[in-house]
Amino acid sequence: MQHQGILHPPLRAPRGARLSCKSWLTEAPMRMLMNNLDPEVAERPDELIVYGGSGKAARTWEDFERIVACLKRLEADETLLVQSGRAVGVLKTHADAPRVLISNSMLVPKWATWEEFRRLEAMGLTMFGQMTAGSWIYIGTQGILQGTYETFGALARKHFAGREGQRGKGAEGQRDRGIETGNALPLHDGGTLRGRLVVTGGLGGMGGAQPLAATMNEGVCLCAEVDPSRIEKRIRDRYLDKAARSVDEALAWALDARRAGAAVSIAVEMNAADLLAELIRRDLTPDVLTDQTSAHDVLNGYVPNGMSYAAALALRRDDPERYIRESYRTMADHVACMLELQRRGAITFDYGNNIRGHAKEAVEKGFADPRAADFRPGGGSRSSGATARNLAIAPAEACGSDFDPFRIPGFVPEYIRPLFCEGQGPFRWVALSGDPKDIARTDRAVLETFPDVDASGRRVPHREHLCRWIRMAGERVAFQGLPARICWLGYGDRAKMGLVFNDLVARGEVSAPIVIGRDHLDCGSVASPNRETEGMKDGSDAIADWPILNALANTACGATWVSVHHGGGVGIGYSIHAGQVIVADGTPEAARRLQRVLTADPAMGVFRHVDAGYERAEAVARERGVDGARA
């Protein structure tokens, strides 16, 4: 790593029980900041970029060093303030206050555009924090893996349970013809992806979770990726099984695995939009279709087609305005292909990267006309090597009279919102010791605390999915940086698990404290109308009070560090979200803070969904004593 002519060795967070700071409450954020930039974890650590195109951990290397220096001298009753990756002040507070408060990428709404953000970023005044990059709780691809596992599992239960040996219904009531027209589906277990093909794009920090999440749900995954280094990384980290040398080989492998009911993940080096165009040309329809390319960022994330990856990178550097136009154009073609495959029967959903919003914007800005050509037999290009540029959409068929990307549903309203109503969401923890044995002990603690078999030997169905995940993660998930684990827990269970972890530290069953945090994608911590809050029952999709209340509540309850960000997941102007991290150091004081924070944090999700009129959230509030301030 290099800045201002000075070479720096790759970062690695300290391990073991020896402190570099004055307490574990300041050691923890320092180690997690460093861990975010560990080469095993970060996508481009030399540029301080952790994941998501341009999501950074600190604004500059000088700012990184200033933050670390402040954390090392911070007292037990002081709080460090961080403004978009820069330490700007230390306040005298109290022992139960957060040790760090972070705000990233925030802009006044009228100025909340990528153009204005990039102008301010170029002046050195801000940085893009994504979600867990700038809040120092990114744990590598596992962080999104478990959420993707939950999403694919919910999809399988919704669409495939009880449909053994037959085709189900695809999107919008269309007959799901499957990947090979006329071929019978192999018998498979209802409610899994066995015998099903998932097609998607993107193997970056977020998308890289898709292959393993699909195979953990017993399916076949075919993923397009333009960057060969990302394919190599996912194979090396055991998130991906193999890479095909051509689209012909990739499809042959995928079809063979699907017929055999095998769980296999395959990558092919090509643009995702072009892979979908090729499926259309060959009249092949997958069972499930989504996308996790970095479409939230049209300049530094998404890669346009019609050129090599090297040429795209050169264009990004030399002519960013043209690059942006080409990205918009490709996104419109990409979504047009998704709509066509949806019409043909693929169960299609948006995975929160804002590709729908940018495709719509591309047409509105005149960068693309996805209705110009024809997907029907004989229309468009039928030559080998079809691309999305020469296969566009027939208005009367895939789009109707208008090109409407939002005919593709979002993953939260389709599969995740029922979990949000119960206060469920991503609960992640990291062993600050760096010892994988500590995570193995916490895995056992989860299975002991929430067993899938009761004392009489009877199955506990609602816990089976959790226990299956914990067991498979222990066997199949490679750690990146400090050892970590994630699972989804709901209201009540998060606080219970946090206290169990604190007891493990107190009894010396793990060798150092544990940090507990989460993604900003949670039940009550985000406003994102194209993702987490899409299609709210009461129409409150864009109401952004909830993430602010979430951050205030976690600050009041004593989280170790709290963050508020703008633009994560979907891009500048499209989301506001908050995060919290808390340290379990084995002390009675930590136990009190853990009880407060890990109760209040998921309670915000119950409050949010009760207020929006969801009956399940109202039932959860009654059953679990969540005080919704009702008379």
Q: Which residues are catalytic?
A: 487
| Secondary structure letter of residue 175 according to DSSP | B
C-alpha span between 216 and 192 (Å, rounded): 9
Helices assigned H by DSSP within 383-460? 411, 417-421, 436-449
Beta-carbon count within 10 A of 129 CB:
35
C-alpha span between 408 and 345 (Å, rounded): 12
Query: Distance between alpha carbon 512 and the CA centroid of its chain, in Å?
Result: 28
What is the 3-class SS of 39-65, one letter each residue?
Answer: CCCCCEHHHCEEECCCEECCCCHHHHH
Beta-carbon contacts of 520 under 8 Å, excluding residues fewer than 6 positions away, are 131, 132, 135, 526, 547, 563, 565, 568, 569, 577, 578, 579
Look at residues 495, 497, 528 and name the one whose alpha carbon lies nearest to residue 601. Answer: 495
Name the one residue in this structure whose structure tokens are 């979907």: 570
| Secondary structure letter of residue 502 according to DSSP | H
Bridge-partner residues for 103, per DSSP?
Answer: 83, 564
The DSSP H or E segment spanning 25 is helix 24-36
Beta-carbon contacts of 431 under 8 Å, excluding residues fewer than 6 positions away, are 438, 439, 442, 482, 483, 484, 510, 512, 514
What single string gives the DSSP state of each residue in 119-145?
Answer: HHHHTTS----TTTTTTT---STHHHH
Helix, strand, coil percent values for the chain (each to nearest 5): 40, 15, 45
C-alpha span between 43 and 315 (Å, rounded): 21
Enumerate long-range contacts of 110-118, CB under 8 Å, 24 or more apart. Answer: 112/566, 112/567, 112/572, 112/573, 113/572, 113/573, 114/297, 114/298, 114/299, 114/571, 114/572, 114/573, 117/567, 117/572, 118/299
Q: Is the dihedral of CA 289, 227, 212, 497 positive or negative?
A: negative
The token pair at 453 is 């078999």
Q: Residue 112 phi/psi, 5° resolution?
A: -85, 70
